[in-house]
Structure 1
């Protein structure tokens, strides 16, 4: 029986930081640069999203809750 955890060679795999740490530094730095301008916005007791400073308002949280979470 074939091993379920082994992917065929043609299938693209997710990058593994424990094996390819040096190759991923560019991607990590780019993501950190994007996240520098984001602020946490609490939607409800369990949900926090990161948005730009302009969207970091209670009105946006309510709009997000209505449209995205359907509450």
Structure 2
């Protein structure tokens, strides 16, 4: 299962952020971020590291667990 897709949607929503505002915070375009959130592309490790730091979760949790049950 692609946990990271649902995880980034949940974490973004939980913070009340738009795709554009999160993309800006991560230093990418909204279109690029949208592809990740819809599972159309996979983020590079550098971006996964930025996402995990931004949301305060480990990369392992971001990729391989359901964070909606932990947070």
Shorter-chain TM range is under 0.3
Larger strand proportion, structure 1 or 2? 1
> What TM-score do the two structures reach when normalised by structure 1?
0.21
- Pick the structure with greater CA Rg: 1
Larger helix proportion, structure 1 or 2? 2
The structure with higher relative contact order (CA 8 Å, sep 6+) is 2
